[in-house]
Amino acid sequence: MNVEEYIASGILELYVAGQLSEDENLEVHGYALKYPEIMKEIEEIEAAVLALGKTVSPGLRHNFEIISDIIDIQKETKVVELGKKDVNWSWYIGWAASLLLAVGLVWMYTQNQDLKKQIQVTETEKQTLEEQITNANTSLEKTQELLNTIRDKNITVIALGGQEVSPDSYAKAYWNKQEQKVFIDAKGLPEPPNGFVYQVWSLKLDPLTPTSIGLLEDFASDQNKVFTMNNPNESEAFGITLEPEGGSESPTLEQLYALGAIAAP
């Protein structure tokens, strides 16, 4: 690069005036560092402008103390501002605390709702349990009643054996002849298929005369499977057949599930 030409171009004067673009400034700065002549030229231009500026100065004293005072005050002011910020902390803490409180309240409310729900659930469970206890008591009473009944001295026990249709089936009849009642224990019978029902017959053997004494209704839902029915007949045997719902006039012997004769007294 021709340094003299560069200097003569007037670009350095514009550089000191601050009239160049950012790129041009960087370029001049680079050349100034590289070529001492350019640096010297810049300094002389600057000195000339400085000297000219002085001619129009107000001529009042340039007291640096005023400026350093202001700088000091600024520093102090900054410290005071920090202090103010400390005061502001309480403001922030206040808001943070109330926010926390609000969140806390919402949380407590939810917790409360949950507890209420739990109490309801427990209440329901308790009711169910009480019902179960009542049911158990009732069923216990029934069982005892049943036990008492079959322990009665007038009771005749008849075992009804399984027949061809269902050899494994069995049943028992407890007959109180005086009270004309028969209790059928049907625990040994399979559940009847849908649309069918067991029918109990009192039988006379010579000649064979069946008389219906009742149906084992609601077989599946009866837990004890002990059914009470009236029997005014002079029975010699009992039989249980499977009949279409509602029962039949006469027994369907092909569906005879259990049969047992009464031992002669």
Partner 1 sequence: MQLDLLVKKFQAKDVAAFERLHAMYAENICGVINTIVRNDDLAQEICQDVFIKVWNNAESYNPAKGRFFTWILNIARNAAIDEVRSKSYKNNKKNLSADYFVGILDHGSSAESKVDAIGLKKLVKALKEKCIQVIELLYFKGYTQKEAAEELDIPIGTIKTRNRSCISQLRKNLKL
Residue ranges that bind partner 1, judged by CB under 8 A? 8-11, 13-20, 22, 25-26, 29, 42, 44-60, 62, 64, 66-68, 70-71, 74
* Nearer of residues 46 and 236 to partner 1, judged by Cβ: 46
Is residue 231 classed as helix, strand or coil in its secondary structure? coil
For residue 207, cis peptide bond before it (omega within 30 degrees of 0): yes
* Nearer of residues 19 and 178 to partner 1, judged by Cβ: 19
Q: How far is the CB of 108 from partner 1 (least distance, A)?
A: 52
* Nearer of residues 28 and 184 to partner 1, judged by Cβ: 28
Is residue 75 classed as helix, strand or coil in its secondary structure? helix
Rounded Cα distance, 171 and 226, in Å = 10
* Nearer of residues 53 and 246 to partner 1, judged by Cβ: 53
Q: How far is the CB of 84 from partner 1 (least distance, A)?
A: 20
CA-based nearest residue to 248, from 209, 212, 219: 212
Rounded Cα distance, 90 and 83, in Å = 12
Q: Residue 212: is it exposed, middle or buried by C-beta count within 10 angstroms (0-12/13-18/19+)?
A: middle
How many Cβ atoms from other residues are within 10 Å of residue 166's Cβ? 16
Q: How far is the CB of 30 from partner 1 (least distance, A)?
A: 8
Q: How far is the CB of 100 from partner 1 (least distance, A)?
A: 40
Q: How far is the CB of 2 from partner 1 (least distance, A)?
A: 16
Q: Is 162 left (phi over 0), alpha (psi -120 to 50) or beta?
A: beta
* Nearer of residues 10 and 246 to partner 1, judged by Cβ: 10
Q: How far is the CB of 12 from partner 1 (least distance, A)?
A: 8
Where does 19-167 show beta strands of DSSP type E? 155-162
* Nearer of residues 52 and 87 to partner 1, judged by Cβ: 52
CB 149 within 8 A of CB 156: no
